[in-house]
Amino acid sequence: MEAARRIEELTRQLNDHAHRYYVLDDPVISDSEYDRLFQELLKLEEAYPALSAEDSPTRRVGGAPLDKFEQARHRLPMLSLENGFSDQDLRDFSERLQRFLNEPVVSGFSAEPKMDGLAVELVYRHGRLVTGSTRGDGSIGENISAQLKTIGTIPLRLVQESSELLEVRGEVYMDKQGFTELNEHQLSKALQPFANPRNAAAGSLRQLDPTVTAQRPLKFFAYGVGEPQSTTCTSQTELLGYLNRIGFPTCPHNRFCPGIEEVIGHYDQLSSIRHDLPYEIDGMVVKVDELLLQSRLGVKARAPRWAIARKFPATQATTTLCGVDFQVGRTGAITPVALLDPVNLDGATVSRATLHNQDEINRKDLRIGDSVLVQRAGDVIPEVVKPMVAKRTGKETPITLPTRCPACDSELIKPEDEAVTRCPNMQCPAQQLRGLIHYCSKAGLDIEGLGKRYVEQLYGEGLIREIADLYTMEREVLKNLEGWGEKSADNVLTAIKQARTPPLADFIAALGIRFIGENSSSLLESHFGSLEKIAAAAEAELLEIDGIGDQAARSLVDYFGNGRIVAMLDRLNQAGVSPAAARQAADGLALSGATLVFTGSLTRLSRDEAKKLVKEHGGTIASSVTNKVTHVVAGQKAGSKLTKAREAGKVILSEDEFLELIGS
């Protein structure tokens, strides 16, 4: 059909012109010619809506507003970066790499400006943009496809890209000029101006109505893909070039640097031109260039070992420390929080900053009434650096932690060897409330509809005191609460019902046991496989797990040995809450079910890389030869552990045999 062919033709042409204009900066037609073609396409699409292509440039104008953002799960997690604040931190980074790899990195680094915007993922199937999402918590973000499609520099169709799936990651940002103009516009309409370009970019993307986003001057730079190994590129530098060729703008200040000293040189150069750049950057990202090395280095917790962000120094300001608030945390820790005269730091108003504990206050010699230096580095939380001693008048008063809990009046305790002062009362309302907030929050089970404010309300109404109470709340009661209704009551009850079979590791982390975060929870899940086994584990058994230390082991034993907790877990069980181990070592992996001990020195691998390989192949690491241990890998000069392993009849492997076993 004629119209179909013309629509296809126009779509292709217009996308091509957009690429030339935005990415190559080399347009071959005038703006008015572009508009003419655009209008022609628009008319045809109006006449034949069914023929409008998914990647039609007319979709850039926005489309229908959404009710809410849907969730979008990233196939591969979007990681964060470790921060460095000095040249020495970069040199240390390079040394860590060498230690892990057991050889120096000779193939260089990619040093890239750290764009100060928002990380997004764009999913292309067969070269067409299908979904775009925010980073969110790294695993799940929000589907903002309609909003992202309005950004002119994001290609809707890729130039000669046929691979089935490509997940492009990069930064959406607003340049300085666009930001200034947007704020002028906001002011002229008596609307609130944005504090900084990053907030403006975030606020513009999180508009339910994409036509609003379409009017905002947003831009995009690509800096990576979900799985670089899936491309034919062998280095980050090559990958950036490839992304550029298939249609993505990349930052022109990205540099290949042969060694860490050149990286430091590039950082100095970026610092000196930083304020002349048309967009804001908050540092530099350094990546090991060779992709093979990146995959050997892998990921530690939530950040890759192969990259580091070198941040620009913090912005500082002085203000007055007017008072101190004492907060009671989830585990009873009392945290002094400085109340500051509000002060602007990089566009954000700062009025509170944690003082951590009494030792920190003493070390910095802070007093109420002091004029203080505060700072904030990028996305890092603000901190009080020091008092301006010269400005003291003598009227300043010392800060001392209270002796009784501000929430429950129990006598506070401070163990000799700890910096933290703590409320020992497990019934303390402040602790209970914080624990409940944590359980429902993203760091816990992420129960939709039970954000901080609502948990506070339910607590205030006396409906919940401990976690188990969440599961016995009644619809009749909820729907009559202020600000609720049938719909919100039903939604929350459904979300709570869904939270009856959480992944075991999430559940453990949600309990908020002292010293047990996300990482330890995963270790516990894969080692024990059930809540019952974790609860019954003795301290010695917990200590066998690599990554569980003294404090964590003791804390777990205390927690599960506490009568109240036992009763509470029993109530949870009766309410049908049964966490399931999802991340059990997958069968079929070379080391499934195996527990390995390494002894002696390795020559081809570092200990850390060996540990990483064991985990990747489904095995567990132990630090001593216990009953559970199945294999002992003996390096050079192996000592008593090897002797013990021989006596106990364990399988003994050399380093080469170990590598062979995992097929590496």
Binding site residues, ligand IVH, CB under 6 A:
79-81, 112, 114-115, 119, 171, 223-224, 285, 304, 307
Nearer to ligand IVH, 143 or 530 (CB): 143
Q: Which residue in the list 68, 114, 189, 479 is annotated as catalytic?
A: 114
Nearer to ligand IVH, 63 or 378 (CB): 378
Amino acid at 562: N
153 three-class SS: coil
Minimum distance, C-beta of residue 378 to ligand IVH, in the bound complex (Å): 9
Closest to 599 (Cα-Cα) out of 622, 573, 619, 578? 622
Cα angle at 605 between 603 and 608, to 5 degrees? 130
Q: Which long-range contacts (CB under 8 A, 24 or more apart) does 326-331 make?
A: 326/401, 326/402, 326/406, 327/430, 328/405, 328/406, 328/407, 328/423, 328/428, 328/430, 328/431, 328/434, 329/431, 329/434, 330/431, 330/434, 330/435, 330/437, 330/438, 330/512, 331/422, 331/431, 331/512, 331/514
Closest to 595 (Cα-Cα) out of 625, 566, 637? 625
Nearer to ligand IVH, 223 or 507 (CB): 223
Minimum distance, C-beta of residue 293 to ligand IVH, in the bound complex (Å): 14
Location of structure tokens 């002119």: 152
CB 495 within 8 A of CB 451: no
Nearer to ligand IVH, 62 or 170 (CB): 170
Nearer to ligand IVH, 309 or 467 (CB): 309
Minimum distance, C-beta of residue 264 to ligand IVH, in the bound complex (Å): 17
Pull the structure tokens for residue 315: 């912005």
Nearer to ligand IVH, 134 or 421 (CB): 134
Nearer to ligand IVH, 224 or 619 (CB): 224
Amino acid at 279: Y
Minimum distance, C-beta of residue 605 to ligand IVH, in the bound complex (Å): 23
Burial of 317 (C-beta count, 10 Å sphere; 0-12/13-18/19+): middle
Residues 233, 236, 238, 241, CA torsion sign = positive
CB 101 within 8 A of CB 297: yes
Minimum distance, C-beta of residue 290 to ligand IVH, in the bound complex (Å): 15
Nearer to ligand IVH, 220 or 439 (CB): 220
φ, ψ of residue 75 to 5 degrees: the values are -60, -40
Minimum distance, C-beta of residue 285 to ligand IVH, in the bound complex (Å): 4
CB 548 within 8 A of CB 570: no
Beta bridge partners of 310: 84, 284
Nearer to ligand IVH, 172 or 489 (CB): 172
Minimum distance, C-beta of residue 299 to ligand IVH, in the bound complex (Å): 8
| 564 vs 562: CA distance, rounded Å | 6
Pull the structure tokens for residue 326: 């004492």
Pull the structure tokens for residue 354: 């944690």
How many other β-carbons are positioned within 10 Å of the β-carbon of residue 459? Answer: 18
114 part of the active site: yes
Q: Which residue is nearest to ligand IVH (CB)?
A: 119
Amino acid at 431: Q
| 111 vs 113: CA distance, rounded Å | 7
Minimum distance, C-beta of residue 84 to ligand IVH, in the bound complex (Å): 12
Minimum distance, C-beta of residue 545 to ligand IVH, in the bound complex (Å): 27
Pull the structure tokens for residue 41: 């396409």
227 three-class SS: coil
Return the half-sphere exposure (C-beta side, CA atoms, 13 A cut-off) of residue 283: 22
| 355 vs 387: CA distance, rounded Å | 12
CB 398 within 8 A of CB 367: yes
| 234 vs 281: CA distance, rounded Å | 27
Minimum distance, C-beta of residue 258 to ligand IVH, in the bound complex (Å): 19
Nearer to ligand IVH, 15 or 237 (CB): 237
How many residues are given for the chain? 664
φ, ψ of residue 637 to 5 degrees: the values are 55, 40
| 37 vs 17: CA distance, rounded Å | 11
Strands 348-354 and 334-345: antiparallel
Q: Active-site residue numbers?
A: 114
